Amino acid sequence: MKWLELLLVAGATLVSAVTIVGLYSLGVRLTAIAGDIQDRSPRLTRGLAYACFGVCGLAVLFGIYLIVPYFTK
């Protein structure tokens, strides 16, 4: 068995999972902060939150693209 390749895949999986979860939690936190802001405009904060959600969605779609063999023909 090729142990180096196994460790490479495990490391890439760990890094990508932590990144996606971190971006999603940052998006949730920014959404909560945008709801609490009273005196300022929350547009920038809400826009950054939606950008975090968008990057998470793109990462999930890319993962589906890599897994499904129909797309890589």
CA angle 69, 15, 55 (to 5 degrees): 70
Are 46 and 30 within 8 A, CB to CB?
A: yes
- pLDDT tens, residue by residue, 12-39: 999 999 999 999 999 999 999 988 877 6
**Cα separation, 17 vs 59, whole angstroms:** 10
Mean pLDDT of the chain: 91
Residue 41 has pLDDT above 80, yes or no: no
> Quick one: average pLDDT of 40-66?
92
Residue 73 has pLDDT above 80, yes or no: no
Given the structure tokens 């990057």, which residue do they identify?
55
What pLDDT score does 39 carry?
61
The pTM of this model reads 0.82
